Amino acid sequence: MTDTVSRSFTPSADEVAKFHELGYLGPFTVYEEDEMRRLWKRERLRLMDRSGAVYDEGDAHSGNTNIANYDRHLDSTFLADHICRPEIVDRVAAVLGPNVLCWRSEFFPKYPGDEGTDWHQADTFAFASGKPQILWPESEKEFGGTITVWTAFTEAAEDTGCLQFIPGTHRTMYYDETKGMHYQPDKINSQEKGGVNRGFYGYDYRQLQKDPDWRPPEDRAVSMVMRPGEAVMFWSTMMHASKPHSAPGKEMRLGFAGRYVPTSVAIYPDTEDVDEYGGRVSLQEYGAVLVAGTDTYGHNRKVTTTTKGHRFPTR
Amino acid sequence: MTAQPRAGTAIADVRATIQAIVGAVLERDVDPSIDVFDQGATSLAFIRIVAEINERFGVDVDVAELEEASVDALLALVTEQLKSPDPVTVRD
């Protein structure tokens, strides 16, 4: 076994304790900056080949979102290896336990002039689709949400749309994801909230607030400034947002998020398709990926290789 | 007009044509040695660029064969295809 294979990125007990306190860990390095830039230059071209993608583009695109770009780790060798990187999986398993599934990946592009993203929390991910996308078992009801690992494929700076977190907010939901939001793509890039141009891909996340008069405690917000190749791991239930891309001369900001849950969680229960952000994709070819351990629950359909035949390197 | 490209000709012409296509799609002058994604191109714009190059030269550029999306890299791929034993045609 080589050093590369055996090397562990498991965080210390103190780091795990800090994660539980704050709701996030990082930023940490997944790729060196030069390597990330070189890889992304090549992979953004490879990804234009959608012949192995599991979702049709037909009805998937609306506003500034194309949900057919969900889960490209199911066809791209680079992204398949990325979601299984030990730098990521060891950290996730330190929190979720040894048996971990990756159930979703998403690109988060921001071009110069794009609005920031609303403050939000996600527990079941029903906020846009109307149906819970992940369900934790009754016995673990105090948990919820997913661990998201957001990797900066390009620079995420204060003026190019870096993430913002409000530490310690992951144990209380200030939003009710079942309330429903109105999809209004004509509002994209046109709304100021607290003096910042923000939106939620055609939705207004404030519509889900349990208390309409409540305001996020933005004075406690911290910015996650990251070089290309750095990542941050956080609970989706922690209040998070992103800044607008307000630097016309700078490159677009691209984050790539992998979302992880333990094998005990049911993914897309009783659901045949995902219908959100004005688009719809069928889950016919979907499968979750076991990135660490074993799955003794069998709740979820899984895949062990990409649609191009590349095997996911399970830890 | 449809014509076989003459060997050794036209590299400068091919480069100029590719650069013009890229410039027209991006609505700006581009540096041929720099990846067009670093010069404001989006994925959709790049797909339009490749489609237009394929149409203009009668080639079939496979973007997966590119290491980067620069005019120079596109030129190398187009030139290679124009020189192949199964020649393609140039369309004006």
Strands (E), chain A: 24-29, 61-62, 65-66, 100-110, 116-120, 134-135, 147-152, 163-165, 192-193, 196-199, 222-224, 230-235, 240-242, 253-262, 266-267, 273-276, 279-282, 289-292
ipTM of the complex: 0.73
Q: How many CB atoms lie within 10 A of CB A84?
A: 21
Length reported for chain A: 315
Residue of A nearest to B67 (CA): A42
3-state secondary structure of A24: strand
pLDDT at B67: 85
Distance from CA of B42 to the nearest CA of A (A): 9
Residues of chain A contacting B69 with CB distance shorter than 8 Å: 41, 44-45
Q: Which segment of A180-189, A305-314, B20-29, B68-77 scores lowest on mean pLDDT?
A: A180-189
The answer to whether the Cβ–Cβ distance between A45 and B69 falls below 8 Å is: yes
Average pLDDT of chain A to the nearest whole number: 90
Q: pTM for this structure?
A: 0.88
Residues B23-79 pLDDT 10s: 999 998 999 999 998 888 888 899 999 999 999 999 999 888 888 899 999 999 999
Residues of chain B contacting A111 with CB distance shorter than 8 Å: 42
The interface residues of chain A toward chain B in range 206-245, judged by CB-CB distance below 8 A, are none
Q: Percentage of chain A with pLDDT > 70? A: 95
**CA atoms of A184 and A179, how far apart (whole Å):** 16
pLDDT at B73: 94
Residues of chain B contacting A49 with CB distance shorter than 8 Å: 63-64
pLDDT at B43: 83
Residues A212-230 pLDDT 10s: 898 889 999 999 999 999 9
The answer to whether the Cβ–Cβ distance between A41 and B67 falls below 8 Å is: yes
pLDDT at A191: 81
Mean pLDDT value of segment A202-210: 85
Residues A252-307 pLDDT 10s: 999 999 999 999 999 999 888 888 777 888 999 999 999 999 999 999 999 999 99
The answer to whether the Cβ–Cβ distance between A111 and B42 falls below 8 Å is: yes
Tell whether the model's pLDDT for residue A1 goes beyond 70.
no
pLDDT at A279: 80
Distances (CA, A) of A199 to A45, A70, A187, A225, A290: 29, 20, 8, 20, 33
pLDDT at A196: 84
The answer to whether the Cβ–Cβ distance between A41 and B68 falls below 8 Å is: yes
3-state secondary structure of A311: strand
Summarize chain B as % helix, strand, coil (round to 5): 55, 5, 40
